[in-house]
Amino acid sequence: MSGFVYLVGAGPGDPSLLTLRGKELLERAEAVIYDYLVHTDILEYAPKGALLQKMGKQGHGEQHAQDSITARIIELAKEGKRVVRLKGGDPSIFGRMGEEALAITEAGIPVEIVPGVTAASGAAAYAGIPLTHRDYAPCVTLVTGHRRTDGGDGPEIDWGALGRVGGTIAIYMGVMQLEGVVEELINAGRSPDTPLVVVHRATWPEQRVVEATLATVVETVKANNLLPPSLVIVGEVVKARSRLGWFDKSPLKGKQVLVTRAAAQAKEICHLLKERGAMPIELPLIELRSFGHKSGVDATLRKLFSYDWLIFSSVNAVEYTFERLYGLGLDARVMGAARVCAVGPKTAETLAHFGVKADAVPEKYIAESVVEEFKKFGNLKGLTVLIPRAKEARELIPEELEKLGARVETVAIYE
Protein backbone atom coordinates (compact mmCIF):
# COMPACT_ATOMS: atom_id res chain seq x y z
CA MET A 1 0.00 0.00 0.00
CA SER A 2 1.45 3.37 -1.02
CA GLY A 3 1.66 6.29 1.33
CA PHE A 4 0.94 9.95 0.75
CA VAL A 5 3.21 12.90 -0.06
CA TYR A 6 2.67 16.44 1.17
CA LEU A 7 4.66 19.21 -0.49
CA VAL A 8 4.74 21.80 2.27
CA GLY A 9 6.07 25.35 2.18
CA ALA A 10 8.02 26.08 5.37
CA GLY A 11 8.22 29.83 4.80
CA PRO A 12 11.36 31.93 4.40
CA GLY A 13 13.01 31.13 7.73
CA ASP A 14 11.19 32.36 10.81
CA PRO A 15 9.54 29.20 12.24
CA SER A 16 6.48 31.18 13.32
CA LEU A 17 5.64 31.80 9.66
CA LEU A 18 4.85 28.12 9.08
CA THR A 19 1.19 27.67 8.17
CA LEU A 20 -1.21 25.89 10.50
CA ARG A 21 -1.78 23.21 7.86
CA GLY A 22 1.96 22.67 7.57
CA LYS A 23 2.24 22.21 11.33
CA GLU A 24 -0.65 19.75 11.37
CA LEU A 25 0.95 17.62 8.67
CA LEU A 26 4.36 17.64 10.35
CA GLU A 27 2.78 16.42 13.58
CA ARG A 28 1.49 13.35 11.72
CA ALA A 29 4.49 12.78 9.45
CA GLU A 30 6.35 9.49 9.34
CA ALA A 31 9.15 10.87 7.16
CA VAL A 32 10.30 14.44 6.52
CA ILE A 33 12.57 15.38 3.62
CA TYR A 34 13.68 18.98 4.10
CA ASP A 35 16.06 21.44 2.47
CA TYR A 36 18.74 23.65 3.98
CA LEU A 37 16.53 26.76 3.99
CA VAL A 38 14.19 25.19 6.57
CA HIS A 39 14.70 26.35 10.16
CA THR A 40 15.43 23.28 12.29
CA ASP A 41 13.00 24.46 15.00
CA ILE A 42 10.20 23.57 12.59
CA LEU A 43 11.34 19.94 12.63
CA GLU A 44 10.43 19.73 16.31
CA TYR A 45 6.78 19.47 15.29
CA ALA A 46 7.51 16.04 13.78
CA PRO A 47 6.93 12.97 15.98
CA LYS A 48 9.99 11.63 17.78
CA GLY A 49 10.05 8.46 15.73
CA ALA A 50 9.78 10.17 12.34
CA LEU A 51 12.59 9.92 9.82
CA LEU A 52 14.22 13.32 9.26
CA GLN A 53 16.44 13.60 6.19
CA LYS A 54 18.09 16.73 4.85
CA MET A 55 18.27 16.83 1.07
CA GLY A 56 18.70 19.82 -1.19
CA LYS A 57 21.15 22.24 -2.72
CA GLN A 58 23.20 24.69 -0.68
CA GLY A 59 25.18 27.10 -2.81
CA HIS A 60 28.61 25.58 -3.25
CA GLY A 61 28.04 23.18 -0.36
CA GLU A 62 26.26 19.83 -0.18
CA GLN A 63 24.33 19.01 -3.34
CA HIS A 64 21.62 16.49 -4.11
CA ALA A 65 20.41 16.16 -7.68
CA GLN A 66 16.70 16.82 -8.10
CA ASP A 67 16.16 13.32 -9.48
CA SER A 68 17.69 11.74 -6.37
CA ILE A 69 15.51 13.85 -4.07
CA THR A 70 12.35 12.90 -5.94
CA ALA A 71 13.39 9.24 -6.03
CA ARG A 72 13.86 9.22 -2.26
CA ILE A 73 10.43 10.75 -1.69
CA ILE A 74 8.81 8.14 -3.92
CA GLU A 75 10.76 5.34 -2.22
CA LEU A 76 9.51 6.34 1.22
CA ALA A 77 5.93 6.78 0.01
CA LYS A 78 5.96 3.32 -1.57
CA GLU A 79 6.89 1.96 1.85
CA GLY A 80 3.49 3.25 2.96
CA LYS A 81 4.76 6.30 4.82
CA ARG A 82 3.19 9.73 5.16
CA VAL A 83 5.96 11.84 3.69
CA VAL A 84 6.27 15.59 4.20
CA ARG A 85 8.53 17.25 1.67
CA LEU A 86 9.40 20.45 3.51
CA LYS A 87 10.66 23.26 1.31
CA GLY A 88 11.80 26.78 2.17
CA GLY A 89 9.38 29.51 1.09
CA ASP A 90 6.48 28.44 -1.11
CA PRO A 91 6.99 25.17 -3.03
CA SER A 92 5.29 26.52 -6.15
CA ILE A 93 7.55 29.58 -6.49
CA PHE A 94 11.02 28.52 -7.66
CA GLY A 95 10.71 25.47 -5.42
CA ARG A 96 10.69 22.73 -8.10
CA MET A 97 7.21 21.76 -6.97
CA GLY A 98 6.09 21.16 -10.53
CA GLU A 99 8.78 18.58 -11.27
CA GLU A 100 8.40 16.80 -7.94
CA ALA A 101 4.60 16.69 -7.92
CA LEU A 102 4.38 15.40 -11.50
CA ALA A 103 6.95 12.67 -10.89
CA ILE A 104 5.23 11.59 -7.68
CA THR A 105 1.75 11.44 -9.23
CA GLU A 106 3.14 9.54 -12.23
CA ALA A 107 4.43 6.98 -9.72
CA GLY A 108 0.84 6.50 -8.57
CA ILE A 109 1.24 8.31 -5.26
CA PRO A 110 -1.30 10.93 -4.13
CA VAL A 111 0.00 14.44 -3.43
CA GLU A 112 -1.22 17.45 -1.48
CA ILE A 113 0.39 20.86 -2.04
CA VAL A 114 0.51 23.25 0.92
CA PRO A 115 1.53 26.83 0.14
CA GLY A 116 3.96 28.78 2.29
CA VAL A 117 5.11 32.37 2.75
CA THR A 118 7.38 32.98 -0.22
CA ALA A 119 10.78 34.62 0.23
CA ALA A 120 9.76 37.85 -1.51
CA SER A 121 6.85 38.41 0.88
CA GLY A 122 8.91 37.51 3.93
CA ALA A 123 11.94 39.57 2.92
CA ALA A 124 9.84 42.61 2.05
CA ALA A 125 7.78 42.48 5.25
CA TYR A 126 10.78 42.00 7.55
CA ALA A 127 12.71 44.72 5.72
CA GLY A 128 9.80 47.16 6.07
CA ILE A 129 9.03 47.34 2.35
CA PRO A 130 5.61 47.05 0.64
CA LEU A 131 5.96 45.03 -2.55
CA THR A 132 3.25 47.14 -4.16
CA HIS A 133 2.08 50.70 -3.61
CA ARG A 134 -0.66 52.28 -5.66
CA ASP A 135 1.28 55.55 -6.03
CA TYR A 136 4.42 54.10 -7.63
CA ALA A 137 4.33 50.29 -7.85
CA PRO A 138 1.06 48.91 -9.29
CA CYS A 139 2.64 45.53 -10.04
CA VAL A 140 5.31 43.17 -8.76
CA THR A 141 7.38 40.67 -10.72
CA LEU A 142 8.88 37.56 -9.13
CA VAL A 143 11.83 36.27 -11.11
CA THR A 144 14.77 33.95 -10.57
CA GLY A 145 18.26 35.24 -11.18
CA HIS A 146 19.60 31.70 -11.33
CA ARG A 147 20.48 30.53 -14.82
CA ARG A 148 19.90 26.90 -15.78
CA THR A 149 23.00 24.76 -15.88
CA ASP A 150 21.39 21.46 -16.86
CA GLY A 151 21.15 22.21 -20.58
CA GLY A 152 17.35 22.28 -20.50
CA ASP A 153 15.26 23.89 -23.23
CA GLY A 154 13.20 26.14 -20.95
CA PRO A 155 12.65 29.78 -21.94
CA GLU A 156 15.25 32.39 -21.09
CA ILE A 157 14.27 35.40 -18.99
CA ASP A 158 13.68 38.54 -21.01
CA TRP A 159 15.28 41.03 -18.64
CA GLY A 160 14.75 43.80 -21.14
CA ALA A 161 11.00 43.26 -21.03
CA LEU A 162 11.05 43.16 -17.23
CA GLY A 163 12.96 46.41 -17.14
CA ARG A 164 10.29 48.09 -19.25
CA VAL A 165 7.32 46.78 -17.24
CA GLY A 166 8.07 48.94 -14.22
CA GLY A 167 6.82 48.29 -10.72
CA THR A 168 8.72 46.17 -8.23
CA ILE A 169 11.02 43.32 -9.19
CA ALA A 170 11.89 40.64 -6.62
CA ILE A 171 14.89 38.62 -7.77
CA TYR A 172 15.34 35.19 -6.20
CA MET A 173 18.76 33.48 -6.19
CA GLY A 174 20.25 36.38 -8.11
CA VAL A 175 23.09 37.62 -5.95
CA MET A 176 25.72 35.53 -7.76
CA GLN A 177 24.57 36.71 -11.23
CA LEU A 178 23.81 40.27 -10.20
CA GLU A 179 26.19 42.06 -12.55
CA GLY A 180 24.52 40.68 -15.67
CA VAL A 181 21.02 41.26 -14.32
CA VAL A 182 21.77 44.89 -13.46
CA GLU A 183 23.24 45.54 -16.90
CA GLU A 184 20.14 44.11 -18.59
CA LEU A 185 17.75 46.21 -16.49
CA ILE A 186 19.66 49.45 -17.09
CA ASN A 187 19.91 48.72 -20.82
CA ALA A 188 16.12 48.20 -20.83
CA GLY A 189 15.58 51.69 -19.49
CA ARG A 190 15.61 51.34 -15.72
CA SER A 191 17.40 54.33 -14.19
CA PRO A 192 20.81 53.55 -12.65
CA ASP A 193 19.52 55.47 -9.62
CA THR A 194 16.64 53.03 -9.06
CA PRO A 195 16.72 52.10 -5.36
CA LEU A 196 16.94 48.49 -4.25
CA VAL A 197 17.79 46.34 -1.26
CA VAL A 198 19.56 43.03 -0.89
CA VAL A 199 18.09 40.97 1.95
CA HIS A 200 20.32 38.21 3.27
CA ARG A 201 18.71 35.36 5.28
CA ALA A 202 15.32 37.04 5.27
CA THR A 203 13.23 36.70 8.46
CA TRP A 204 16.05 34.96 10.36
CA PRO A 205 17.46 36.69 13.47
CA GLU A 206 20.70 37.31 11.56
CA GLN A 207 18.87 38.99 8.66
CA ARG A 208 20.90 41.71 6.96
CA VAL A 209 19.43 44.39 4.69
CA VAL A 210 21.78 46.40 2.49
CA GLU A 211 20.50 49.36 0.50
CA ALA A 212 21.93 50.39 -2.87
CA THR A 213 20.94 51.43 -6.40
CA LEU A 214 21.21 49.61 -9.68
CA ALA A 215 24.42 51.54 -10.32
CA THR A 216 26.06 50.66 -6.99
CA VAL A 217 24.67 47.28 -6.01
CA VAL A 218 27.39 45.08 -7.52
CA GLU A 219 30.15 46.80 -5.55
CA THR A 220 27.93 47.01 -2.47
CA VAL A 221 27.32 43.26 -2.50
CA LYS A 222 31.05 42.59 -2.78
CA ALA A 223 31.90 45.07 -0.03
CA ASN A 224 29.39 43.50 2.35
CA ASN A 225 30.23 39.91 1.36
CA LEU A 226 26.59 39.08 0.71
CA LEU A 227 26.17 35.45 -0.30
CA PRO A 228 23.17 33.18 -0.86
CA PRO A 229 20.52 32.96 0.40
CA SER A 230 19.82 36.56 -0.55
CA LEU A 231 16.91 38.20 -2.32
CA VAL A 232 17.00 41.48 -4.26
CA ILE A 233 14.05 43.88 -4.26
CA VAL A 234 14.20 46.58 -6.95
CA GLY A 235 11.90 49.60 -7.15
CA GLU A 236 10.64 52.82 -5.64
CA VAL A 237 8.89 50.89 -2.85
CA VAL A 238 12.28 50.52 -1.18
CA LYS A 239 12.07 54.17 -0.06
CA ALA A 240 9.43 53.20 2.52
CA ARG A 241 11.99 51.21 4.47
CA SER A 242 13.30 54.23 6.38
CA ARG A 243 9.90 54.53 8.07
CA LEU A 244 8.70 50.92 8.14
CA GLY A 245 11.85 48.97 9.01
CA TRP A 246 10.50 47.40 12.21
CA PHE A 247 12.59 44.22 12.38
CA ASP A 248 15.94 46.00 12.54
CA LYS A 249 14.71 47.90 15.59
CA SER A 250 14.29 44.76 17.71
CA PRO A 251 16.15 45.39 21.00
CA LEU A 252 18.27 42.22 20.79
CA LYS A 253 18.63 42.15 16.99
CA GLY A 254 21.47 39.84 15.97
CA LYS A 255 22.60 39.07 19.54
CA GLN A 256 23.55 35.48 20.34
CA VAL A 257 22.31 34.36 23.76
CA LEU A 258 23.40 31.11 25.41
CA VAL A 259 20.53 29.43 27.29
CA THR A 260 21.75 26.84 29.80
CA ARG A 261 18.44 25.83 31.36
CA ALA A 262 17.21 22.25 31.18
CA ALA A 263 15.89 21.46 27.71
CA ALA A 264 12.28 21.15 28.86
CA GLN A 265 12.38 24.63 30.38
CA ALA A 266 14.39 26.45 27.73
CA LYS A 267 11.66 26.74 25.11
CA GLU A 268 9.75 29.61 26.66
CA ILE A 269 12.76 31.82 27.30
CA CYS A 270 14.10 31.03 23.80
CA HIS A 271 10.76 32.08 22.34
CA LEU A 272 10.86 35.37 24.24
CA LEU A 273 14.43 36.01 23.11
CA LYS A 274 13.50 35.37 19.47
CA GLU A 275 10.59 37.79 19.71
CA ARG A 276 13.12 40.44 20.64
CA GLY A 277 15.42 39.63 17.73
CA ALA A 278 18.00 37.47 19.51
CA MET A 279 19.53 34.21 18.36
CA PRO A 280 19.20 31.84 21.35
CA ILE A 281 21.55 28.88 21.49
CA GLU A 282 20.37 26.03 23.69
CA LEU A 283 23.09 24.33 25.75
CA PRO A 284 21.42 22.50 28.65
CA LEU A 285 23.88 22.16 31.53
CA ILE A 286 21.46 20.31 33.80
CA GLU A 287 19.11 17.39 33.32
CA LEU A 288 15.97 16.95 35.36
CA ARG A 289 14.89 13.44 36.35
CA SER A 290 11.89 12.15 38.23
CA PHE A 291 12.15 10.15 41.46
CA GLY A 292 9.01 8.30 40.46
CA HIS A 293 8.55 4.61 41.35
CA LYS A 294 10.39 5.04 44.68
CA SER A 295 8.24 3.51 47.41
CA GLY A 296 8.76 6.39 49.86
CA VAL A 297 7.69 8.94 47.27
CA ASP A 298 4.65 6.95 46.23
CA ALA A 299 3.53 6.39 49.81
CA THR A 300 3.70 10.13 50.51
CA LEU A 301 1.81 11.06 47.36
CA ARG A 302 -0.97 8.60 48.16
CA LYS A 303 -1.75 10.51 51.37
CA LEU A 304 -1.58 14.13 50.21
CA PHE A 305 -5.07 14.60 51.66
CA SER A 306 -3.66 14.12 55.18
CA TYR A 307 -1.68 17.39 55.13
CA ASP A 308 -2.99 20.84 55.96
CA TRP A 309 -0.75 22.58 53.41
CA LEU A 310 1.16 21.59 50.28
CA ILE A 311 3.89 24.00 49.18
CA PHE A 312 5.07 23.93 45.56
CA SER A 313 8.13 26.12 45.06
CA SER A 314 8.55 25.62 41.30
CA VAL A 315 6.91 24.55 38.07
CA ASN A 316 9.11 21.44 38.11
CA ALA A 317 7.79 20.39 41.51
CA VAL A 318 4.22 20.61 40.21
CA GLU A 319 4.89 18.79 36.95
CA TYR A 320 6.87 15.93 38.48
CA THR A 321 4.33 15.52 41.28
CA PHE A 322 1.45 15.16 38.85
CA GLU A 323 3.47 12.99 36.50
CA ARG A 324 3.90 10.51 39.35
CA LEU A 325 0.32 10.87 40.55
CA TYR A 326 -0.93 9.96 37.09
CA GLY A 327 1.49 7.03 37.06
CA LEU A 328 -0.18 5.81 40.25
CA GLY A 329 -3.64 6.20 38.74
CA LEU A 330 -4.35 9.26 40.90
CA ASP A 331 -5.11 12.91 40.19
CA ALA A 332 -5.73 16.19 42.02
CA ARG A 333 -8.55 14.65 44.06
CA VAL A 334 -5.97 12.90 46.25
CA MET A 335 -5.19 16.33 47.73
CA GLY A 336 -8.53 16.33 49.49
CA ALA A 337 -8.99 19.43 51.64
CA ALA A 338 -5.29 20.31 51.76
CA ARG A 339 -4.58 23.94 50.96
CA VAL A 340 -1.93 24.79 48.39
CA CYS A 341 0.78 27.45 48.29
CA ALA A 342 2.48 28.25 44.97
CA VAL A 343 5.74 30.19 44.75
CA GLY A 344 5.33 32.46 41.74
CA PRO A 345 2.57 32.97 39.17
CA LYS A 346 4.03 30.39 36.77
CA THR A 347 3.83 27.74 39.47
CA ALA A 348 0.24 28.77 40.19
CA GLU A 349 -0.53 28.67 36.47
CA THR A 350 0.89 25.15 36.20
CA LEU A 351 -1.21 24.02 39.16
CA ALA A 352 -4.29 25.48 37.47
CA HIS A 353 -3.44 23.43 34.38
CA PHE A 354 -3.85 20.34 36.56
CA GLY A 355 -7.11 21.61 38.02
CA VAL A 356 -5.76 23.04 41.29
CA LYS A 357 -6.28 26.67 42.34
CA ALA A 358 -3.54 27.91 44.66
CA ASP A 359 -4.80 29.23 48.00
CA ALA A 360 -1.71 31.38 48.51
CA VAL A 361 0.75 32.95 46.06
CA PRO A 362 3.41 35.08 47.83
CA GLU A 363 4.12 38.45 46.24
CA LYS A 364 7.83 37.68 45.84
CA TYR A 365 8.97 34.45 44.24
CA ILE A 366 11.51 33.48 46.91
CA ALA A 367 11.59 31.20 49.94
CA GLU A 368 11.66 34.11 52.38
CA SER A 369 8.38 35.36 50.96
CA VAL A 370 6.74 31.99 51.65
CA VAL A 371 7.75 32.22 55.29
CA GLU A 372 6.32 35.74 55.53
CA GLU A 373 3.06 34.49 54.01
CA PHE A 374 2.71 31.81 56.68
CA LYS A 375 3.58 34.22 59.48
CA LYS A 376 0.26 35.91 58.71
CA PHE A 377 -1.48 32.83 60.18
CA GLY A 378 0.20 33.37 63.57
CA ASN A 379 0.97 30.26 65.60
CA LEU A 380 1.29 27.25 63.29
CA LYS A 381 1.42 24.68 66.09
CA GLY A 382 0.18 21.32 64.90
CA LEU A 383 -0.13 22.41 61.24
CA THR A 384 1.14 19.71 58.87
CA VAL A 385 3.00 20.85 55.76
CA LEU A 386 4.41 18.85 52.84
CA ILE A 387 6.91 20.30 50.38
CA PRO A 388 7.45 18.25 47.17
CA ARG A 389 10.76 19.53 45.82
CA ALA A 390 14.12 18.82 44.22
CA LYS A 391 16.61 16.50 45.91
CA GLU A 392 18.90 19.46 46.53
CA ALA A 393 17.01 22.46 47.85
CA ARG A 394 17.29 25.21 50.45
CA GLU A 395 16.18 24.28 53.95
CA LEU A 396 14.97 27.78 54.79
CA ILE A 397 11.23 27.13 54.36
CA PRO A 398 11.04 23.92 56.44
CA GLU A 399 13.34 25.29 59.15
CA GLU A 400 11.48 28.59 59.53
CA LEU A 401 8.02 27.01 59.43
CA GLU A 402 9.06 24.54 62.12
CA LYS A 403 10.15 27.47 64.28
CA LEU A 404 6.61 28.77 63.92
CA GLY A 405 5.27 25.45 65.22
CA ALA A 406 4.43 23.59 62.01
CA ARG A 407 5.32 19.95 61.38
CA VAL A 408 7.05 19.97 58.00
CA GLU A 409 7.91 17.07 55.72
CA THR A 410 9.80 17.24 52.45
CA VAL A 411 9.78 14.71 49.65
CA ALA A 412 12.34 14.67 46.83
CA ILE A 413 10.17 14.32 43.75
CA TYR A 414 12.92 15.04 41.21
CA GLU A 415 16.62 15.81 40.89
Catalytic residue set: 35, 57
SS3 label, residue 302: helix
**Residue 118 contacts residue 92 (beta carbons within 8 Å):** no
**C-beta separation of 234 from 169 below 8 A:** yes
CA distances from residue 115 to 18, 85, 169, 240, 370 in whole angstroms, order as listed: 10, 12, 21, 28, 52
Does a cis peptide bond (omega within 30 degrees of 0) precede residue 192? no
Kind and range of the H or E run holding 389: strand 384-390
Strand partners, 82: 4
CA atoms of 316 and 265, how far apart (whole Å):
9
Q: How many CA within 13 A on the CB side of residue 295?
A: 0
How far apart CA 371 and CA 349 sit, in angstroms, is 21
CA distance linking residue 93 with residue 59, whole number of Å = 18
